[in-house]
Structures are given as structure tokens and as C-alpha cells.
């Protein structure tokens, strides 16, 4: 990090290069750039947090779905006809026994 006398030399060089009238504009633009950079960092952190929360919610939903799938299978685990002429979604035969 530059010391006191080094900062003075740096400021004189900047003054010579940009001129006195351009320094306020330069400082203003540097401030805007710094603010935009900080805003971008905080926005990236917010998005990362939202993505992490979304992944956690998805994992919870999949766990709930897996838990309900195991409880709704029933005791036999077989799907098919439930009575005369009625079918369930897993049934591939009609009321006459023919394939659809």
C-alpha cells in the first residue's frame, strides 16, 4: 500500500494526465462504478440464497412425494381391475379382456 508521499505523487500524475476539470467527473464515475459493483455482489448473493432455498424446497417436495408413494401403494401393490367392468389407471384391458 502506498505511503503518504507516494499518494501525493500519484495524485499529481493523475492531475497532469486528466486535468483539473476532469477530476470531479472521474471521481463521480469511480463512485458509480463502486456502487454498481457492490450492488452486483449483493444481487449475486441474493440469487445464490434463493437458488439454495429453491433446491432445499425441491428436496423436501421430493421427500414428501416419495413418502406418499410408499404409503399409497397398498398392501398388495397390484393395480388392475377393481370390479366387473371397471378399470383403474394401471389396467390395460377393457371389460372384455381385449388389449387397447
Ranges of the chain with pLDDT below 70: 73-100
Q: What is the pLDDT of residue 86?
A: 54
The pLDDT assigned to 76 comes to 53
pTM for the model:
0.43
Q: What is the pLDDT of residue 70?
A: 80
pLDDT value at residue 79 = 54
Cα distances (angstroms) measured from residue 22 to each of 29, 33, 69, 82: 11, 16, 69, 86
Burial 47-68 (b: 16+ CB within 10 A, else e): eeeeeeeeeeeeeeeeeeeeee
Q: What is the pLDDT of residue 21?
A: 84
Amino acid at each position: 500500500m502506498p505511503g503518504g508521499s507516494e499518494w501525493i505523487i500519484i495524485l499529481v500524475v493523475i492531475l497532469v494526465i486528466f486535468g483539473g476539470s476532469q477530476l470531479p467527473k472521474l471521481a463521480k464515475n469511480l463512485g458509480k462504478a463502486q456502487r454498481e459493483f457492490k450492488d452486483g455482489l449483493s444481487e449475486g448473493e441474493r440469487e445464490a440464497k434463493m437458488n439454495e432455498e429453491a433446491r432445499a424446497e425441491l428436496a423436501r417436495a421430493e421427500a414428501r412425494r416419495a413418502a406418499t408413494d410408499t404409503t399409497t401403494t397398498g398392501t398388495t401393490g397390484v393395480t388392475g381391475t377393481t370390479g366387473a367392468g371397471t378399470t383403474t389407471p394401471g389396467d390395460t384391458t377393457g371389460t372384455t379382456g381385449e388389449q387397447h
